[in-house]
Structure 1
Amino acid sequence: MTIGIVGLLFVGLLGYGVYWAFFDMNRLPTGEYLTEESSPDGKYTLKAYVANGGATTSYTIRGELNFNQKNKKPKNVYWNNKEDGADIKWLDNETVIINGHSLDVPKDKFDFRNQ
């Protein structure tokens, strides 16, 4: 019984470590500022950054959601590779389209690694 619990704990910690090292959107590279667009009601601002991974990888776009009316930390909501520009359009106060990907903010995220 104890060996099973220790084994399960080890596998859980290993799984979290892999997620943290390779898939956690809070660990994305900052990149260079490209553009930003605010929601129609001014509650959110989506800022786009381009990250250059070097000669062996393509450019990626990182979208950061900023909360204008609350004292909250910005949240990464968009990460896509093989892009070097950001086309941001707000459909309404909580729906934004980034390079053709629709997100219902603040709950949705797009990460090409999960597609």
Structure 2
Amino acid sequence: MQFPSTPRALRRPAALIATAALLLSLSACKGPAPEEQDEALSQAQQAAQAAASTADATPPPPASCDASQVQGLVGQPYAESMLAQAKEDAGATDVRVLKPNQPVTMEFIGERLNIEIDEKGMVSGLRCG
């Protein structure tokens, strides 16, 4: 059994109609005019410059902690009683004791004194942050 094939005369107009429909749909997908693109780019650059100048204008707050004032505690056995004196001597507003393998947050707080203790319970380091 043979199926009737589409005559050649009908295939050509169908291809032309499909091509015309494709061209019409592609012409409707134009992007914004070059002037609109330039204006959008200019506005974005101005916004970036304004944000950068605002960020540069606000200096970070000065840190009140000075760990160099308490470095004499390195090598001494850690005791809870040294916290208040170390905090005062360093000019810190907060003290954090860091023990071996203890998970700690990584945010920097310039007013905080960190006292690092080793496995033997000795003060191994002091730093602000």
Give the TM-score normalised by structure 2.
0.28
Higher relative contact order (CA 8 A, sep 6+): 2
In our comparison, the structure showing a higher alpha carbon Rg is: 2
Greater strand percent: which structure?
1
